[in-house]
Structures are given as C-alpha cells and as structure tokens.
Amino acid sequence: MSRVFNFSAGPACLPEEVLREAAEDMLSFKGSGMSVMEMSHRSLAYDQIIKETEQDIRTLANIPDDYAVLFLQGGATLQFAMAPINLSKSGKADYITTGHWAQKAAAEAARYTDVKEIASSEGTQFDRIPDLSKLPIREGADYVHLCENNTIYGTQYHTLPETGGIPLVSDQSSCVFSRPLDITRYGLIYAGAQKNIGPAGLTLVIVRKDLIKAELDHYVPLMLRYDTHIKSGSMHNTPPTYAIYITGKVMKWLLRNGGLNGAQKRNEEKAGLLYDALDRSQLFYSPVKKDSRSLMNIVFTSGDEATDADFIKGAEALGLMGIKGYRTVGGMRASLYNAMTRTGVEALVSYMKDFERSR
C-alpha cells in the first residue's frame, strides 16, 4: 500500500527520509548485527547515539550549557507534576489556561503548590490566546506556566508574555522545534516527542539547572527528580532507546533542511495554504481568532455534524487520514507538524474545494 497523508495530532507522521534510514538500520545498526531496539543502553554504540542526539538538539536550538537536556518518560502529563515538584521554592506558581491540557497541568500542579490562574480564554471557548498584557503575576512566584500550542482548539502563542524575570515554563509538545526559539526566555520546556520530533514514549525536557530545587522531600521518588536524570545522563534506568534514536535522526533531518528557520518557513507556507482555503470557503471555517491561529493544528468545521462526517469519510477514502477533530470539539483538525509535506496540504486543500463544489 502506498503511503497516506497522516494529519493525526499524535502519534503523528515522521519524515519519510528518516523512516527509510531507520529501515536500513533495522536488522543491523552500523554493522553491529543487531537493531537499536535490541542494543544495551550501556553499550558504546548506544552511548554515541544518545550523546549525539543531545548535541544535535543543543546545536539546533542553540541551548547553552547552563540548561540540561533530558530524555525522560511518562509523557508531558508526568511533567504536569514534575515541574512543580522540582521548581517549587516559594510554593506558588501562576498558570495561563488556553485549553484542555493547560487546565490539566494546572489541576495537577495544584496537588503540589499553590496555583493561581492569571489569564484564561475559557470564556470564549478557547478560541484565542488571552490578553497577555498586565498579567497579575504574583511577586515571588516560582514560575509562570503556559501551553504554547493547543492541539484541541488550534491556538498558538505568537508572542510570549512578559513575566518580570519570573521563569517561564512551557509545554511545547505540539510545537517544539517548529520555529526558532530564544531558550533564555524559558526556565523549562517540556514536550512529548510523538507530535513533532519522534515516536511516542519519549519526553524531552530542557531545564535551566539553577532553578531546580536543591532539596526535595525524602518521599519524592528518585525518578521524579530532575537532578537524578542530570547526574545519570538520562540513564538512571533504561531510557526509551529507540525513540531517542529516531529523534536523533529527526534532529539531523532538521539540521540538513535549514534548522529551525527552515522549519518555520515551511510550516508558515503549509498553514498559509490551508488557512487561505478556509478564508475563501463558503462551506468551511475556522473558529479561531486570526491572531491566535496555530501553525501546527488547524481546526475547522462546516457547522453541521453530518456534513463534517461525510467530509471525514471522503478524506479517508483518499488517504487523507487523521483529520477528525477532538472528541469533545468535533469538526476537523489537520495537524501540520514538521514532517507533513506541502504536497499533503495541497491534497487536502484540493479535496476541500472538490467537496464544496459537490454540495
């Protein structure tokens, strides 16, 4: 069967070039006689893989030495707890809520620290990023948390809030490495790999070392301490070896293709194609305010459930997979992560126009 265009929000598509390289390595990685999936994480061959992957990430995002790059497990969901556990010094943290996952993060953090919601777009059904001016950030707050791209509602921060020196903690699961970033604006970035940089099972954490609490309560498990993973080089236990290996290949693919500037250019072009089609359409529309539109997850609908269902069914018949919207929202969602090609977006736009003409 030929390859489909996978618009799923995650696990998502990977670069075909990377998949072909991995296929060549599957039975014998660099003449070792074994797959990376079979390889000891303590072997010299794997040590080179994980160290090279970290260095490529540092090069790609220009990450300085005072930040740790960690390969963890548990998804972004575990970071909802690990962030407050490890960063809480004053015992208070401020959260901006722009959707389902931002709310989940705040609720989980409230188990470990005093959480205050300082801005929200819930009142408009999360159709925008809220006003970030004059945020009531508490003096001495340990950090300000945000979810930088919202997969369900299709919104994205295009400017970061000014926090007056309070560290910014960002869930970048669905936008990490999709555009240039100034790492010094952040105290902590975390991202589940399965949307934009690799397979499910890996969580990337980039944290400024001086923010980590020196002493944690004795009952905090070693696996939930950033310091544990810094000291062990992300190998306190067996890491998600194959996911790290594939992520390393994706990093090299990004570096070969213009780095983060190249990724941003491609992503803006792809999103522009689809948003332009939606703005011209008489049948489909996006409910997201234009200044908050995501480059990664584009949500749209006809406003009629039966029409949307027909559209999704027809898309799947053409190999345009994974465009059904999140179960609580409905409609459609096209995820245009780094690995989605312009050709895939053009195929979706062409189908949209044909479907509209047929109604």
Is 195 considered catalytic here? yes
Which of 94, 195, 270, 308 is flagged as catalytic? 195
The whole-number average pLDDT for the span 91-104 is 98
Per CATH, domain 16-256 is 3.40.640.10: yes
Distance in angstroms (rounded) separating the CA atoms of residues 339 and 354: 25
Q: Which of 218, 200, 197, 161 is nearest to 69 (CA)?
A: 197
Distance in angstroms (rounded) separating the CA atoms of residues 284 and 215: 54
CATH class of 260-358: alpha beta
Residue 35 has pLDDT above 90, yes or no: yes
Question: If pLDDT is split at 50, 70 and 90, which confidence band does 1 have?
Answer: low
Q: Which CB contacts under 8 angstroms, 24+ apart, belong to 274-283?
A: 274/298, 274/334, 274/336, 274/345, 274/348, 274/349, 277/349, 277/352, 277/353, 281/352, 281/356, 282/356, 283/307, 283/355, 283/356, 283/359
The whole-number average pLDDT for the span 273-284 is 98
Which of 56, 94, 101, 308 is flagged as catalytic? 101
DSSP string, 334-353: EE--TT--HHHHHHHHHHHH
pLDDT at 23: 96
Is 310 considered catalytic here? no
Which of 94, 142, 171, 308 is flagged as catalytic? 171
Distance in angstroms (rounded) separating the CA atoms of residues 50 and 56: 10
Tens of pLDDT, residue by residue over 57-96, are 999 999 999 999 999 999 999 999 999 999 999 999 999 9
**Full-model pTM:** 0.97
Question: If pLDDT is split at 50, 70 and 90, which confidence band does 359 have?
Answer: confident
The amino acid present at 173, given as its one-letter code, is S
Tell me how long the chain is.
Answer: 359
Q: Which of 314, 276, 321, 268 is nearest to 294 (CA)?
A: 268
Q: For the chain, give the percent of residues with pLDDT over 70.
A: 100
Q: Which of 344, 180, 196 is nearest to 274 (CA)?
A: 344
Tens of pLDDT, residue by residue over 194-246, are 999 999 999 999 999 999 998 999 999 999 999 999 999 999 999 999 999 99
The count of C-alpha atoms lying within 13 angstroms of the C-alpha of 46, restricted to the half-sphere facing its C-beta, is 20
Is 253 considered catalytic here? no
pLDDT at 2: 87
Q: Which of 177, 170, 172, 206 is nearest to 191 (CA)?
A: 172
Distance in angstroms (rounded) separating the CA atoms of residues 220 and 112: 11
Quick one: which H or E segment has residue 18?
helix 16-25
pLDDT at 247: 98
Domain ranges across the chain: 16-256, 260-358
**Average pLDDT score over the chain:** 97
Tens of pLDDT, residue by residue over 141-195, are 999 999 999 999 999 999 999 999 999 999 999 999 999 999 999 999 999 999 9
